[in-house]
Amino acid sequence: MDLSLDAGPEIVAIPGPTVMPERVLAAIRHPMPDIYAGELTEVIDEVWAALPGIARTAGRVYVAIGNGHAGWEMALTNTLCRGDRVLVLECGRFATVWGEMASFNGIDVEVLYADRGRAVDPAAVAERLAADTEREIKAILTVQSDTASSIRNDIPAIRRALDEADHPALLMVDCIASMACEPYFMDDWGVDVTVSASQKGLMTPPGLGFVWAGPRALAAHERADLQTRYWDWTYRVEDGPYYLRFCGTPPVSHLFALRESLRMIDEEGMEARWARHRVLGAAVRAAVGAWSTDDGLALFAADPAERSDAVTLITTGSIDPAAISATCRERMGVTLGLGIGDFGPSFRIGHMGHVNAPMILGVLGSVEAALGAIGAPVGGSGVAAAAAVLADELRRG
């Protein structure tokens, strides 16, 4: 008989959808209310009041009943015109997919790739923008933290590249993996459009996309010609009827859940939340550093400053990642993220949202046990290295 150690709560450590807090789960279990007046309208008001602060903007927010892709499409179709050119800045996988969506909508897409294992190079962006003397590029599409590569781009540096070239393109940033996990200041950083979704740092079931729009995006909306009746921002204004804000019946259960998660974020405090993610991310990275061997485990993101605090991609060299993840899942009840994208044998650990130190130590301990069980070579104890990071951080703060 194969020994199984998986009875008890399962830990799902994929980079989204993430663990849902009990409070959020309980909030979903709410009978259907009137959708035109009463409690639901109070929920919607509270959600709308809180969402701009999450992205640190005074701009407008639009909520799509859909996933991150819905947010992407809403952002593109409300700000751009058929035949416009966009510059996609890719350091992983997701900016390219956003670009593919733009192509489908009749937008001309150019992709600027970062070096393998590195974030987008702001100097390369500046150079490309300076060469665009006809100002054909109407928008930059990029991702703050790419969930496939676990690389974080320097959004303020990309903004500076636009400013240096005195280029008017809109700056659009996908914060689907990073929102409420990593520091982000939409207005201070000069971002025109921010896109996120409910199922990662926002701890709410998949099904809501969010688009925050600053003044330049709203001005672009006036001339955009890609709107469809469903996604068009025109009728989705917060001083209009609640029903029209969603172009139909509101996503009632999601809204109750989201209100609860936004309350939890407020209670924890955004800075405290960013600090928690920073420390837990550092613990994961320290573990991988300790496990690393030649031709074995390694962090994919080459530069420490470019490593996401929400997710970590671990390349496995000659070790089979399927053997690690199967041992974790089937025998210890821990689900890891598979590697996606063109990064070779790999797996991912999500450390975003409703996660704490014992969950992370449990995941790391399970990976370490799996590595031992399959006879994979490791440099040293990742768990010890992670605990040392936590001890050091706890001592300091």
Ligand X SMILES: Cc1ncc(COP(=O)(O)O)c(C=O)c1O
Confirm if 138 and 330 have CB atoms less than 8 A apart: no
Decide whether 291 or 347 has the Cβ nearer to ligand X: 347
Decide whether 205 or 365 has the Cβ nearer to ligand X: 205
User: Which of 43, 88, 94, 120 contacts ligand X by CB under 6 A?
Assistant: 94
User: Which of 63, 119, 177, 193 contacts ligand X by CB under 6 A?
Assistant: 177
Strands laid side by side in the 334-338 sheet: 11-13, 334-338, 346-350, 311-315, 298-299
- The CB density around residue 234, as the number of other CB atoms within 10 Å, is 12
Decide whether 204 or 292 has the Cβ nearer to ligand X: 204
Can residue 67 be called a binding residue for ligand X (CB under 6 A)? Answer: yes
Can residue 68 be called a binding residue for ligand X (CB under 6 A)? Answer: yes
Decide whether 69 or 263 has the Cβ nearer to ligand X: 69
Can residue 174 be called a binding residue for ligand X (CB under 6 A)? Answer: yes
Q: Which of the residues 15 through 34 are near ligand X (CB under 6 A)?
A: 16
| Per-residue contact string for residues 183-202; x = within reach of ligand X by CB under 6 A | --------------x-----
Q: Which of 181, 188, 194, 106 is nearest to 142 (CA)?
A: 194
User: Which of 171, 176, 290, 383 contacts ligand X by CB under 6 A?
Assistant: 176
User: Which of 23, 56, 69, 331 contacts ligand X by CB under 6 A?
Assistant: 69
Can residue 341 be called a binding residue for ligand X (CB under 6 A)? Answer: no
Decide whether 57 or 145 has the Cβ nearer to ligand X: 145
DSSP for 273-298 reads HHHHHHHHHHHHHHHHHHH--TTS-E
Can residue 141 be called a binding residue for ligand X (CB under 6 A)? Answer: no
Q: How far is CA 147 from the centre of its chain?
A: 7
Measure the CA dihedral 333/386/116/185, to 10°: 100
Q: How far is the CB of 16 from ligand X (least distance, A)?
A: 5
> In sequence order, what are the residues at sequence separation of 6 or more whose Cβ sits closer than 8 angstroms to the Cβ of residue 226?
76, 77, 78, 80, 81, 82, 105, 106, 107
Confirm if 125 and 72 have CB atoms less than 8 A apart: no
Q: How far is the CB of 179 from ligand X (least distance, A)?
A: 10
Can residue 310 be called a binding residue for ligand X (CB under 6 A)? Answer: no
Can residue 203 be called a binding residue for ligand X (CB under 6 A)? Answer: no
Can residue 99 be called a binding residue for ligand X (CB under 6 A)? Answer: no
For residue 229, CA distances in Å to 56, 114, 136, 249 come to 29, 36, 27, 15
Confirm if 184 and 56 have CB atoms less than 8 A apart: yes
Can residue 91 be called a binding residue for ligand X (CB under 6 A)? Answer: no
In the beta sheet, which residues pair with residue 349? Answer: 312
Q: How far is CA 331 from the centre of its chain?
A: 29
Can residue 73 be called a binding residue for ligand X (CB under 6 A)? Answer: no
Can residue 385 be called a binding residue for ligand X (CB under 6 A)? Answer: no
Binding site for ligand X (CB under 6 A): 16, 67-69, 94, 143, 146-147, 174, 176-177, 197, 206
